[in-house]
């Protein structure tokens, strides 16, 4: 379980670094059009398309980003390794959220690791007769 928490922490740190613009090369995109899409259980979201500034349209510079912004405006984005574009957010709330979402799974991994080490070091009592036999029955067996 601790390994799952550590993997979640790594993913949260990586995604937080992308969203804050700490990882990857930031690009500026001019929003051309936005449309609302059905997001399933997560609810609807706004998907905007636009062109990267400074690149010709024939260069494959058309990008699709999930965020709420108005057409005609510019926004900073960064490309994730899996190909999607992530908008760069700034402000105290974004920093605090990314820190919290990274710290919670790391705390869970620490607690699971601590409990595993504690359980491995705890000496166990070996019962030879069985778990349901009480002390009186053991004393009676010893007298025979």
Q: What is the pLDDT of residues 118-131, one digit of tens each?
A: 888 776 655 555 55
CA distances to 64, 75, 79, 85, 102 from 70, rounded to whole Å, are: 14, 10, 20, 17, 30
Cα distance between residue 67 and residue 106, in whole Å? 28
3-state secondary structure of 34: strand
May I ask the CATH class of domain 23-88?
Answer: mainly beta
Domain borders along the chain are: 1-20+89-122, 23-88
pLDDT in tens, 56-113: 555 667 788 877 666 778 888 888 888 888 888 878 887 888 788 888 888 888 888 8
């Amino acid at each position: 379980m601790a390994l799952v928490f550590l993997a979640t922490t790594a993913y949260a740190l990586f995604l937080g670094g992308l969203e804050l613009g700490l990882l990857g090369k930031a690009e500026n995109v001019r929003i051309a059009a936005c449309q609302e899409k059905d997001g399933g259980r997560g609810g609807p979201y706004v998907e905007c398309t636009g062109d990267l500034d400074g690149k010709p349209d024939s260069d494959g510079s058309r990008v699709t980003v999930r965020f709420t912004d108005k057409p005609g405006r510019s926004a900073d984005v960064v490309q994730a390794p899996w190909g999607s574009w992530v908008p760069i957010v700034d402000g105290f709330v974004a920093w605090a959220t990314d820190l919290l979402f990274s710290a919670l799974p790391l705390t869970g991994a620490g607690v699971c690791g601590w409990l595993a080490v504690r359980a491995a070091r705890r000496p166990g009592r070996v019962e030879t007769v069985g778990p349901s036999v009480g002390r009186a029955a053991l004393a009676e067996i010893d007298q025979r």
